Amino acid sequence: MVSTRERIVGASSALFMERGYAGSGLKQIAQASGAPIGSLYHHFPGGKGELAAETLRASGRAYQSLVEAIFDAAPDLVTGVEWCFDGAAETLRTTDFADACPIATVALEVASSDESLREVTAEIFEGWLRALTARMAAGGINPEPARELATMLVASLEGGFLLCRAAKDTAPMAAIGAAMVELVRGALPSNQH
């Protein structure tokens, strides 16, 4: 069974994706979660900042697991990269471009205005980069280009969400996925091309 605390975090994550951190009031989060506002303060005595930190961490973990599951299921690294971008485009389409990265909007909002939430977003991105660097290396890429490719993958996926959501069109994600596949293929030792 989903606990009240989990419902609050889930509602907060959905609202952050839809309208960002500043645009999501505690009242709206309470309403969306079906919990009374007093319950929010009971579970998160630190208020919106504390709730946001936990929401970001939970979303960051879930998102990382999703991407890792895609790479686990793929027969090889290049196919895994392809599936990541295909999956991102599919999710955008089926959710009318609402369900994208749960961290990016808040990360941009707080980068220059809330040091403790900025640090939370930095930890999450660093965790993604490490996990993807390890996948790249496991797929046959050398350590230095592995970190570079992981960085490019996360950046271009995030930029892809931005362009697709603005345009309400998945064409940018298809173009970016194709470019990313080319980069990864080119970085594989020549016997694996």
125, burial (CB in 10 Å: exposed 0-12, middle 13-18, buried 19+): middle
Selection from 54, 80, 79 nearest residue 67 by Cα: 80
Does 142 sit near a copy of itself (CB under 8 A)? no
Q: Which is nearer to a copy of itself, 58 or 174 (CB)?
A: 174
Q: At its nearest, how many Å lie between a copy of itself and the CB of residue 100?
A: 8
Q: 159 with 166: CB under 8 angstroms? A: no
Q: 179 with 72: CB under 8 angstroms? A: no
Question: x/- binding map, residues 147-166, to a copy of itself, per CB under 8 A?
Answer: xxx-xx-xxxxxxxxxx-xx
Choices 43-51, 62-70, 71-79, 107-115; region in contact with a copy of itself by CB under 8 A:
107-115
Q: Could you give the CA distance from residue 97 to residue 35 in angstroms, rounded to a whole number?
A: 27
Does 168 sit near a copy of itself (CB under 8 A)? yes
Contact with a copy of itself (CB under 8 A) among 79, 86, 125, 137: 125
Q: Give me the sign of the Cα torsion angle 4, 70, 72, 57.
A: negative
Does 18 sit near a copy of itself (CB under 8 A)? yes
Question: What are the backbone dihedrals phi and psi of residue 114, each rounded to the nearest 5 degrees, phi first?
Answer: -150, 95
Choices 5-13, 29-37, 74-82, 97-105; region in contact with a copy of itself by CB under 8 A:
97-105
Does 111 sit near a copy of itself (CB under 8 A)? yes
Contact with a copy of itself (CB under 8 A) among 105, 141, 170, 188: 105
Q: Could you give the CA distance from residue 29 to residue 80 in angstroms, rounded to a whole number?
A: 35
72, burial (CB in 10 Å: exposed 0-12, middle 13-18, buried 19+): exposed
Binding residues for a copy of itself, per CB under 8 A?
Answer: 17-23, 96-98, 104-105, 107-109, 111-113, 118, 121-122, 125-126, 147-149, 151-152, 154-163, 165-168, 172, 175-176, 178-180, 182-183, 186
